[in-house]
Amino acid sequence: MNHLFFIITDFSNLCHAQKWKDRCDICTIMIEVCRKRGDTRGVSFWEYRLLTLGHLGDGGMSEEEEGIQVVRKHGRAKKKKIKVIKDLFFRHPSFTKLFQRVDATPDAKETVFHRKGKPRKMRQCVQEFSFRGPPTKLSQTIFQGEYLHSLAPYQIADLELSSDSFPIFSFDNDS
């Protein structure tokens, strides 16, 4: 079994590291569940997600900001804290759907994941990008084409792109 080690290189991005670790944990648990069930297709499905997380690292996780949503209950308006999720401009668009699937799994598989503690804040994905820079040493296929085309040659050199190709799959028909 491949083991991923999680290293926090920038403590100001602890939330990215925690999100990365939580997603890795979800994938690892689902791989084991699928193995126990003899579901080889499911094992492949979750191993790809884990491989993707390993390649992107915590620097490839989306941005979260605190937000407020007004909720009406029994005719009264109440403000509720939420997490506003912004996609990363540099990241290939297929990763958005991939990570939404991972994030939704604990709620969909309640027999496998038992939530403890206070309820999770509602997450709302918005059609906005975060323009935070990418981590170095990623494969060129990880990037959205527009992003790489917008960079000057010295900026591309600073990314230290990996010569390895990373497979990108479509997730339109996830099961």
> What DSSP letter does each residue of 141-169 carry, written as one string?
GGB-HHHHHTS-HHHHHHTT-BSS-----
Residue 173 belongs to some domain of the structure: no
Residue 8 has pLDDT above 60, yes or no: no
- 171 occurs within a structural domain: no
Residue 57 is encoded by which pair of tokens?
Answer: 């690292």
Q: Which domain holds residue 56?
A: 11-158
Q: Record the tokens describing residue 45, joined without a space.
A: 């499905």
CA distances from 94 to 6, 35, 67, 97, 131 (A): 23, 26, 25, 6, 17
The reply to whether 75 falls in a domain is: yes
Residues contacting 170, CB < 8 A, separation 6+:
94
Count structural domains, the chain: 1
- Rounded Cα distance, 107 and 40, in Å: 23
Please say if the pLDDT value at position 174 is more than 90: no
60 DSSP assignment: G
Asked if pLDDT for residue 38 goes beyond 80, the answer is yes
- CA 63, chain centre distance (Å): 10
6 in a structural domain: no
pLDDT tens sequence across 70-109? 878 888 888 888 888 888 899 998 898 899 899 989 888 8
Token reading at 84: 């506003």
Could you tell me if residue 1 is inside a domain?
no
